[in-house]
Structure 1
Amino acid sequence: MAEDEEVTLTTEQTEKLLQFQDLTGIEDMERCRNILDQHDWNIETAVQDTLNVSEGKPTVYDRTTQASQPPVRTPEVNTNPRDQRIFTVARPTSSWFQWSYMMVFFPFRFFYTTVFDIVRWTLRLIWPDPRRIVTDPRGDVLSFITSYEERYGAAHPEFYRGSYSEALSDAKRDLKFLLVYLHGNDHQDTDQFCRDTLGNADVIEFINASLIFWAASVNSPEGYRVSLALRENTYPFLALIVLRDNKMTVVLRIEGAVSGESLIERVQRTMSETEGYLVAMRMGRQERNLNNTLRQEQDEAYRESLRQDQEKAKKKKEEEEEKNKQEQAEREQEEEKQNQIEERANRRIEKAALLPDEPDASNTDAVKILFKLPNGRRLERSFLKTCSLEVLYDYVYVQDEVPDEFQLQTNYPRRVLQCLPTEENETVPSIGDAGLSSREMLYVQDISD
């Protein structure tokens, strides 16, 4: 009876039946046919559902939703490798029709697939896909957003207006979830998904509040590049990416049409499962930031202390230099003063040796002069009227307790005697020419100040 039912299959259904058996390794032909019947002979859905069931995963047989696929490794985000699937070796079938069909069509199938692969490979060499050359990733994204709004309106989640790499960087920096949407323009479910799911008010509110939403068309170079990285199987395609183990990792894949409620529920569930990693990373980042802040404050305090120490050392050095300068100046002044004292002492000795002898008091040309010093001391001596006033000056100069600089002044009338030559008058008058009488008192006036 089973053979009668198998004979009634069309050629397309028989081809799908054998292909399904090859992919799943199920030896029971009747079971394979029942599975295909349950999935409306959609071989992709049937194979994926069968493999998920064999691996203990939830079934994907849902008219409105498609199950997430295990993430794959991409050049830009870290994904878990696909689970290794172990197939049982198919034993010989019990139907002679199956064997006959396989034997007859196997050469044609082999030839067709081989020739098709060779032709496709050759065409790719001759006419490379222009989408592989990405020249303006941000422009591709902005162009998609413009075309999307022209076709579906402005009711959609807030698109990230940057390249895929920039979205990954921002999500990694801010420790946020990144939801990637790849738009298949020609897919039959795309329009309904954009209008009913992405246009859903709850979906818009949820995505805008919780996620970074990046989207692009796979027909653009930027979208095609991301498509090659994420390796989607069908459209619409969504991938939830987050930082995990220090790598941007795909934690959820949604392929095919999905309702707004299901989308929110699945994303929220995945976010709840992954939130622990983000909390740990946020705490680690806060701790590192705190340590960095403390280290910066310590470094700043050290630099400030070092600066103050340097200023103190500089100030101390300047004070020492200033002190040394003052001491040096004082030493120089002292040396100069000492030199002046020695020089004056030498001059006093020379002038004392040149003073004329005191004349006898009975000499009619003798003038007796009383000198009164600033300290009150009195000096008295006789001089000849023919002696120069410079002799009077030198006599006072060689005495002790005499100011360094002084001048001689008469008592009455008060006048200063020109005892030293000047530029105006190089000739010094004599005692007699100065009008001094036989007995005079002269005041020694200190002018050293």
Structure 2
Amino acid sequence: MSSAELDLDQLSDSERTALDTYTTVTGQEPLEAIPLLRRSQWNVQIAISKFFDGEGPDPVEEDRSELHQSPPPRSNRRTQNLMSDDLTEQLSPATRSVDLAPRVDTQPENQPVYRPPFLLALLFTPFNLVYRLLCSSFRLFGTLFPFLPRFFNVTANPALQGARRNTTGRRPLGPKDTAARFIREFEEEYGSHPIPFLENGYNMALEKAHRDLKFLLVVLLSPEHDDTSSWVRNTLLAPEVVEFLSDPQNNVLVWGGNVQDSEAYQVANSLRCTKFPFAAVVVHTPNVSSTAMSVVGRIAGTTTPSEAVNRLRTVITPNQEPLERIRSTRAEQQASRSLREEQDSAYERSLAIDRERARQRREAEAARKREEQEAADRQAAEEQRQRDVTQWKLWRVQSLDAEPGPDVKDAVRVSVRLPSGDRIMRKFAPDADIEELYAVVECYEVLQQTSQTYVSAPPGYNHQYGFRLVSPMPRAVYAVEDGGTIREKIGRGGNLLVEPIEADEDADEEADEEEAVETSQ
């Protein structure tokens, strides 16, 4: 049999119901949900709050608890009542009683309030009046004989013990709204006060006290008792009590409730309150359980401010040391967690730096390869261009017109001086294009060769002349782009110079042409 089946078989009906409700809301597996419900004392609302706050099952703690699964011995210490216990007995840890602080099943926040139809309510009005008279009579007997409410609570049906019928006419609210209403009514009755009541339900107050390792003072008031108003004004709001509760070194949280409200009434029954006004001190007791919240002291009935402070100090002082040990342990765990987080952060930063450096190296390598590829492409293009130029020159030489003979009287005689100092002397037909003269100059070296082979024009190649033919005196440029015949441009003859065209000059000429076009537009 698996451990999950064993745990499920050992659960009671109420625990099974709580487990089903919890797993339905959170979708968690029962094997993982049972430890969290146990730490929450099987309160579904607290367990769900812990789950959504990020607290999950603690495998280390559960394994440790399984190794020590023997049930703790039942405490033989009796219930402590600060009204009747001797001060010396209260200071003795061996004889001080500790009861587990109960949790209550509160009304959901948005539960609809049922209101019967008007005619039905009118029909049952006499019965309602009789019921209220009987309840008032039983309440009077309960005040005169305090043991009767406790006796009825013990002998009543357990399913009905936690419920209380609302006979006060107060509208039932959720735990948080009930706490806010109590604080508002308290301020309206007793004026402004410095007591920091918690604006949460009782269960959430227990959770806050457990989480913050503080003492929770539960104050229960009943407006029907004559001593309530005097006790609040003379004791609870006394300067020394307020100073004690407000002192941060005492670590006291205060939660108050009106027993006319359902939640406070359930808390009073759970804490076995038989006399009002009533106060109880609840604190986490690690010697009982790792999650236990225990009632370490009660104050029932009227007391003087000094007595209340002394009795609070009596139960708070002995329990400070275990809480300090837990705080130290938590501080060490937090420091260790912070150190691990810092180490993880430093490791992540180091990884980020390494990844950035690797990225930069990859980018630099890619840029280097790209530059090398571009240089290789340029070199290949330049080599191809040189081959095309050579092939074009060989092809262009084959298509040059022959030099006119002596019988051509109007032939044009041109002398061209090259940048190397050589001079080309050649005759051209009068109708020869100026490009023919440029081709002769461009192919001069090929014309000097004795043997020539037939080649075709390079495919897709458009030859660009890298020089200009100019006349020195007066200076005149005979651009090949202008076209025309040699006779029209030069006349019957002339002396020309070859000027190489530089890249900068080409750029300037293109800019001048673009500016001229823009101006004309």
| TM-score, L = length of structure 2 | 0.56
Residues 1:377 and 2:421 are matched in the alignment: yes
Residues 1:443 and 2:497 are matched in the alignment: yes
1:244 aligned residue: 285
The one-letter code sitting in structure 2 at the alignment partner of 1:413 is P
Query: Offset at 1:445?
Result: 1.3
Q: For structure 1, which segment, 344-353 or 298-307, has the greater mean C-alpha deviation from structure 2 after superposition?
A: 298-307
2:99 aligned residue: 72
Once residues 346 and 502 of structure 2 are traced to their aligned partners in structure 1, the CA distance between those partners, rounded to angstroms, is 58
Query: Offset at 1:203?
Result: 1.5
SS at structure 2 position matched to 1:159? coil
Query: Offset at 1:73?
Result: 3.0
| Equivalence map 1:318-337=2 (5 Å) | 318-337=363-382
1:434 aligned residue: 490
CA-to-aligned-CA distance 1:195-216 (integer Å, 9 cap, x gap): 4322432112212223222111
CA-to-aligned-CA distance 1:115-138 (integer Å, 9 cap, x gap): x8999659969x96238x963223
2:313 aligned residue: 268
Q: Is the 8 A contact 2:77 2:97 kept in 1?
A: no
1:45 aligned residue: none
Once residues 305 and 102 of structure 2 are traced to their aligned partners in structure 1, the CA distance between those partners, rounded to angstroms, is 30
Once residues 201 and 78 of structure 2 are traced to their aligned partners in structure 1, the CA distance between those partners, rounded to angstroms, is 38
Query: Offset at 1:364?
Result: 6.5
CA-to-aligned-CA distance 1:411-448 (integer Å, 9 cap, x gap): 3222223546x5xx5xx3134873143xx432111125
| Equivalence map 1:222-237=2 (5 Å) | 222-237=263-278
Q: Is the 8 A contact 2:418 2:497 kept in 1?
A: yes
CA-to-aligned-CA distance 1:157-176 (integer Å, 9 cap, x gap): 44333322343333334332
Once residues 63 and 343 of structure 1 are traced to their aligned partners in structure 2, the CA distance between those partners, rounded to angstroms, is 117
1:405 aligned residue: 466
Q: Is the 8 A contact 1:134 1:222 kept in 2?
A: no
Once residues 63 and 418 of structure 1 are traced to their aligned partners in structure 2, the CA distance between those partners, rounded to angstroms, is 125
The one-letter code sitting in structure 1 at the alignment partner of 2:206 is L
Query: Offset at 1:273?
Result: 0.9
The one-letter code sitting in structure 2 at the alignment partner of 1:444 is V
Q: Is the 8 A contact 2:215 2:281 kept in 1?
A: yes
Q: Is the 8 A contact 1:392 1:419 kept in 2?
A: no
Q: Is the 8 A contact 2:221 2:276 kept in 1?
A: yes
Query: Offset at 1:394?
Result: 1.1
Change over 3 Å in CA distance of 1:184–1:389 after alignment to 2: closer
Change over 3 Å in CA distance of 1:326–1:397 after alignment to 2: same
CA-to-aligned-CA distance 1:226-249 (integer Å, 9 cap, x gap): 223323343332211223334333
| Equivalence map 1:130-279=2 (5 Å) | 130=166, 135-149=173-187, 157-187=195-225, 189-209=227-247, 210=250, 211-245=252-286, 246-247=290-291, 248-279=293-324
Once residues 117 and 212 of structure 1 are traced to their aligned partners in structure 2, the CA distance between those partners, rounded to angstroms, is 29
2:477 aligned residue: 416
Once residues 280 and 71 of structure 1 are traced to their aligned partners in structure 2, the CA distance between those partners, rounded to angstroms, is 19
Change over 3 Å in CA distance of 1:319–1:404 after alignment to 2: farther
The one-letter code sitting in structure 2 at the alignment partner of 1:203 is V
Query: Offset at 1:347?
Result: 0.8
Q: Is the 8 A contact 1:237 1:256 kept in 2?
A: yes
Query: Offset at 1:250?
Result: 2.2
2:134 aligned residue: none
SS at structure 2 position matched to 1:207? helix
Once residues 250 and 224 of structure 1 are traced to their aligned partners in structure 2, the CA distance between those partners, rounded to angstroms, is 17
2:123 aligned residue: none
Change over 3 Å in CA distance of 1:75–1:354 after alignment to 2: same
Once residues 213 and 282 of structure 2 are traced to their aligned partners in structure 1, the CA distance between those partners, rounded to angstroms, is 11
Listed as ranges, the gaps of 5+ residues in structure 1 are: 1-53, 78-115
Change over 3 Å in CA distance of 1:433–1:339 after alignment to 2: same
Q: For structure 1, which segment, 133-142 or 196-205, has the greater mean C-alpha deviation from structure 2 after superposition?
A: 133-142
2:357 aligned residue: 312
Q: Is the 8 A contact 2:413 2:492 kept in 1?
A: no
Listed as ranges, the gaps of 5+ residues in structure 2 are: 1-75, 91-95, 105-151, 447-463, 504-521
Query: Offset at 1:59?
Result: 9.8
Once residues 433 and 210 of structure 2 are traced to their aligned partners in structure 1, the CA distance between those partners, rounded to angstroms, is 108
Once residues 253 and 155 of structure 2 are traced to their aligned partners in structure 1, the CA distance between those partners, rounded to angstroms, is 41
Query: Offset at 1:362?
Result: 11
| TM-score, L = length of structure 1 | 0.64
SS at structure 2 position matched to 1:70? coil
Once residues 62 and 432 of structure 1 are traced to their aligned partners in structure 2, the CA distance between those partners, rounded to angstroms, is 138
2:387 aligned residue: 342
SS at structure 2 position matched to 1:235? coil
Once residues 331 and 365 of structure 2 are traced to their aligned partners in structure 1, the CA distance between those partners, rounded to angstroms, is 49
CA-to-aligned-CA distance 1:368-403 (integer Å, 9 cap, x gap): 5442223x33133332444443332111111359x9
Once residues 123 and 226 of structure 1 are traced to their aligned partners in structure 2, the CA distance between those partners, rounded to angstroms, is 16
Query: Offset at 1:55?
Result: 6.6
Change over 3 Å in CA distance of 1:325–1:400 after alignment to 2: farther
The one-letter code sitting in structure 2 at the alignment partner of 1:310 is R
Change over 3 Å in CA distance of 1:284–1:433 after alignment to 2: closer
1:352 aligned residue: 397
2:434 aligned residue: 389
The one-letter code sitting in structure 2 at the alignment partner of 1:238 is A
The one-letter code sitting in structure 2 at the alignment partner of 1:344 is V
